[in-house]
Amino acid sequence: MPKLLTTLSVTALLAFATPLFAQTATPTEAPAADAGTTTDAAKPDTALSLGQTSPDGPGTAYVKESIDDWQLECIRVEEGQEEPCQMFQPLLDTEGNQVANIRIFRLPETGEAIAGALVAVPLETLLTAQLTITVDTAKPQLYPFSVCDRLGCYARIGFRKADIAAFKKGAKATITLVPFVAPDQKVALPMSLKGFTASYDKASVVSGQ
């Protein structure tokens, strides 16, 4: 399966599949100056605000629409341009806690993979056990993990036409991972397929160039 992603660069995949929510600093008030004292804040060259990027400006990510159990996650762009959008779903355990998440985006249908995905899992995952995706009663598909950072580990996945067709027709899917501290156990996370087709049709086609 790793060969399926030869049409999409690793950099492009991670750049689009990772949210780009902007962070803004919380302003603090300067202490009041004593009478007759000149402070830096009172000087014309330091008292002026230089502004900051709007948290809702181009380059920020937001949820444009919820379609059943999927969200359409988009990146804001300049006016007149088309926003790139991808599918997103948090993966919850039986108690409703988010353990992992998946983002799916479409690729040009010129190669074996017509869609890509990034599955994020906790750092405490046994990477050598790989990630398993099962649709209904079909044979499970294994996918290796590609990279980790301080927030978690990620599996970069390519989906064939048959895989997407199975998601569209399926009743349920399950993503399974193995905890590092309990290698003899498995954590099965349901991935809802409700709204998959409608969400997929609205997702953007991402070029690997």
Position 9 pLDDT exceeds 90: no
Residue 131: φ, ψ to 5°: -110, 140
Q: Strand, coil or helix: what is 12? A: helix
- Alpha carbon distance 93, 189 (integer Å): 6
Residue 8 near residue 206, CB atoms below 8 Å: yes
pTM score: 0.73
Position 92 pLDDT exceeds 60: yes
pLDDT digits 0-9 by tens, 27-42 = 333 334 444 544 444 4
- Alpha carbon distance 187, 124 (integer Å): 12
pLDDT digits 0-9 by tens, 141-198 = 999 999 999 999 999 999 999 999 999 999 999 999 999 999 999 999 999 999 999 9
Which residues make Cβ contacts (< 8 Å) with residue 156, sequence separation at least 6? 5, 10, 13, 14, 116, 117, 118, 146, 147
pLDDT digits 0-9 by tens, 55-74 = 677 788 889 999 999 999 99
Residue 134: φ, ψ to 5°: -125, 135
- Alpha carbon distance 77, 94 (integer Å): 37
Residue carrying the six token digits 């359409």: 72
Architecture of domain 2-17+59-202: Sandwich (2.60)
Displacement of CA 59 from its chain's centroid (Å): 15
Which residues make Cβ contacts (< 8 Å) with residue 139, sequence separation at least 6? none
Residue carrying the six token digits 């190669």: 111
